[in-house]
Amino acid sequence: MTTTTLNVKGMTCAACSARIERIVRKLDGVSRVGVNLASERATIVFDQRKIAIGVIKNAIEKAGFKALDPTPNSGDKSARDREIKTLWAKFAIAAAFSAPLLYIAMVPMLTRYGITLPYPKGLDPMNYSLIYALIELLLVIPVIGVGYRFYTVGFKLLWRRNPNMDSLIAIGTSAAILYSVYNTWQIACGQFWAVDQLYFETAGVIITLILLGKSMEAVSKGRTGEAIKKLMGLAPKTAIVARNGEEIEILIDEVKIGDIVVVKPGGKIPVDGVVLEGRSAIDESMLTGESMPVAKTAGSEVYAATINASGAIRFRAEKIGTETALAQIVRLVEEAQGSKAPIAKLADVVSGYFVPIVCVIALLSGAAWFAVTADTEFALTIFISVLVIACPCALGLATPTAIMVATGRGAESGILFKGGEALEMAHKVGVVALDKTGTITEGRPSVTDLIAAEGVETDRLLSIAAAAESDSEHPLGTAIVGEARKRGLRLDKAGAFDSVAGRGVEAEIGGEAVIVGSALFMSERGIDTEPLLAECERLSRDGRTTVFAAIDGSLTGLIAIADPIKKSSAAAIARLRDLGLTTVMITGDNHKTAESIAKQIGVDRTLSEVMPHDKANEIKRLQAKGQKVAFVGDGINDAPALAQADVGIAIGSGADVAIESADVVLMQSDLFDVPAAIELSKRTIDNIRQNLFWAFGYNVIGIPIAAGLLYPFFGILLNPIFAAAAMSLSSVSVLTNALRLKKFKAARYERKG
C-alpha cells in the first residue's frame, strides 16, 4: 500500500470534505482516505497496482475541486497569505457598497418608527420608487461581483447534486435578488407598492458578512498551523564548511554527508551531525521544548536548527535534507495535523447529509408559511433565513482545528503525536506501563561492586567477564566492558560467542568456557551460586542488578551494576497517580531489584524477570482486564510492546525502531512528559467536545428559529441578515475555541523545582 497526501482546493465546508471522501473511497484500489478541511489536505492510502494517483486526482476534480501535489510549507504560507489578503480586499469592496445600500434601505423604515436620519430627498422610496430601486440594484451588483465564487461553485455543485455551503448562500441570495429584480420591474410598470418588497440590501449584506466570516476564518486557520511554520523557519539557509583547507559559506542544500561543518558562537546548526572538535552548549529548545542548553563535546550529536550558544565547534554532517531530526519532526506533525480522530466520525456522517437536508427544510418551511399566510415576502424571509443560518463549516472545523493546534503545541513542547487517533486515545488510558532501563532510569548502567569468589582476583573476574561481554549489546554488558577499559585491563578475544536473551552470554576465552549472566542462567547451566547468594540478596535489596560469572563450570564472582534513576521519574509517577492512572513497571530484573526501584519511584505494580519478547504479552494481559494501556519504552526490544499498547510512547533518545513503533514520541526523553502528553490529550478532547457541542447546538437551535418555529408563540422572526452574521460567527467561534489550546504548557520537572 502507498500513502500520499494531496492539497485540495475549493472546499468551503464539511459537506465538501465528506463528498471527496465518499468519491475517493469508492475507487477500486483505495483502502483509506481522510480529508482535512482545516489543512485542505487529503491523505489517501491506495494500491498502486490497482489505481494510479492521476485517476484519484481526476475523480476529485470531477467532483468540482482542485487536487494538487503537496507543496513545501513556505509555499503554503505565501499562498495562505495571498488568500487572506484577497478575502479582506473582497470584504472591503463589498462593505463599501453594502453599507450605503443598507443605509438607504433602512432609513425610510426607521422614519416610520419616528427615528429620523439624514437622507437624500431624491431617493425617497415613496416619491421616487424606481430611482430608489435602481440605485439599490446598482449598489448590489459590485457586491455580487466580489462574491461571484459563491455562485460559480455553489450552483455547479448543486447541478452535480453535491450542494455545499456555497450552494446555500447562492440559492438564498439569488432568491432575494431575483425577487427584488422582479419587483423593480413591477415598479417600472407602475406598481409602486412593490417598493416595500425589495431585498437587495439583504443579499448584499449577507454576502458581505459571509466574506467577513471567511476572512476571519482564514486568519484563524492560518494560526492553527503556526507551529509548522515556526519549525520550518528555524532551519538556517546557509552553512560554513571546511573544504580544501579553507572555510566557505554554501547554501544548505549543497551540504553533503561527511562534510566538516563549522559553527561559531551564536550560529545555528545547519544539519545533523557528530561533533569532532570543540566544546559548547547547544540550545535545543526548538526540538525538545527544554530551555536549558545541552553541553556538547567530541562525539556528541547535534541537530539542525538548534543554536550554538557558546563555543565554536566542528562536526561531521551525518543527516541532511529530509533526514534531519527537524525535517522528520515537521513530517510527523504534518501527518498528525492531516489525520482524523475517531471522535470526528459523527460530524463526518452528519456533514454528508447536512446541506441537502437544509435545502429540503428551507423549501418545506417556506412553502408551509406561504400556504398559511399567502405572504410571499414572509415565506421568502423564512426560506432565505434557513439557508444562510445553516453552518456546515462549524461541523467540519470542530475536530481538525483542535487537532492541528494541539499537535503543533505538543511539537513545540517536545511531545510528538503521530496522528489524531493517538491524540484521542491517550485521554482514555487507565494504565501506564513503563520499561525500566532508559525510561525510568538513565539507561547508562555502571559497575558498583565486584565480589570475587575465593581464590580469584578482582581484576581477573572483571577482565574475563568483560571479554565475554565484548560482543554483547546489552546495557549491562556495556557497563562491564566500560569498567574494564576504565581500569586499563586487557581483554582477550572472545570465541564461540552466544547470547541468550534475558539470561546472559557464553563465550570461549583463551580456551576457557566463560558464562556471565543471572542466577537463573547459572542454575540452568548447573553452576552453584550458593557461596555468593547472601551478597547477591544484599545488593539486590539496594536496587542493584547482579551478574554472576563462571569459568569452566566454577563460580568466579559476582558483579553488581546500578542504573541511576532519572531525577524526574518519581515526580512523573506521582503526577500520573494524581491523574488517576495506575502505573506498572516492566523489567527483566530479578524481583528484589525491581521491588527496590519500584519503592523508590512509587509505582503501583511491578512485573519483574520479564523476557524482552514477553513484554507485549504482559501488555495484552493488562488489556484483557478491560483497561486502555499506554506503554513507555525506548529500546529495540520495546518495539513489540509499543505496537501492542493502545498508546505507545517512545522516549526520544531511544532506538529509531522504537520511535517508529510508537504513537507518541517524547523528544526531551523526560518521563515527566508522559503525564503532560496525557493532559494535552484530555484538554484537546474537551476542546473538540466543546466545538462539536457548539456546532451541533448552533444548527439544532438556529435552523428551527430561522424556519419560524417561534413566530406563532412569541412573534419572533429571524432576519436573514442576522442569520448570515450568526452563521459567520459560528465558524469563527469554533476556530477561536480551538486556538485556546495554544496556551497549553507542558509541565517540566525542572520547572517544578
Question: Would you please indicate which residues are annotated as catalytic (active-site) residues?
Answer: 435
**Degrees to nearest 5, angle at CA 723 with 720 and 724:** 90
Output phi, psi for 26, to 5 deg. -75, -15
Residue type, 566: K
- β-strand 66-68 against 446-452: which pairing, if any? unpaired
Q: From the CB of residue 369, how many other CB atoms can be counted at a distance below 10 Å? A: 22
> In b/e form, how buried is each residue of 710-737, taking b as 16+ CB within 10 angstroms?
ebeeeeeebebbebbbbbbbbbbbbbeb
- Copy the grid coordinates of residue 535: 551478597
Contacts 24+ apart (CB under 8 A), 530-536: 531/453, 531/454, 531/555, 532/451, 532/453, 532/557, 532/558, 535/451
Residues β-bridged to residue 607: 586
SS3 labels along 563-622: CCECCCHHHHHHHHHHCCCEEEEECCCCHHHHHHHHHHHCCCEEECCCCHHHHHHHHHHH
**Which contiguous run of DSSP H or E holds residue 83?**
helix 73-111
Residue type, 125: P
Interatomic CA distance for residues 568 and 195, integer angstroms: 76
Assign 248 to helix, strand or coil: strand
Contacts of 666 (CB under 8 A, 6+ apart): 414, 415, 416, 649, 650, 651, 652, 673, 674, 677
Query: Considering only CA atoms, which of 550, 560, 562, 553 is closest in space to residue 460?
Result: 550
Interatomic CA distance for residues 110 and 117, integer angstroms: 8
Assign 184 to helix, strand or coil: helix
SS3 labels along 301-356: EECCCCEECCCCEEEEEEECHHHCHHHHHHHHHHHHHHCCCHHHHHHHHHHHHHHH
Residue type, 301: E
**Which contiguous run of DSSP H or E holds residue 21?**
helix 14-25
Interatomic CA distance for residues 248 and 222, integer angstroms: 38
Query: Considering only CA atoms, which of 625, 568, 533 is closest in space to residue 751?
Result: 568
Residue type, 663: D
Residue type, 709: L
Assign 236 to helix, strand or coil: coil
CA distances from 509 to 458, 515, 551 (A): 17, 10, 9
**Which contiguous run of DSSP H or E holds residue 169?**
helix 165-188
Q: Maximum Cα–Cα distance for the chain, whole Å?
A: 125
Query: Considering only CA atoms, which of 315, 219, 225 is closest in space to residue 276?
Result: 315
CA distances from 610 to 412, 538, 616 (A): 36, 22, 10
CA distances from 465 to 111, 508, 527, 532, 562 (A): 102, 11, 16, 16, 17
Interatomic CA distance for residues 91 and 181, integer angstroms: 24
- The beta strands (E) that lie in 349-458 are given as 415-417, 431-435, 446-452
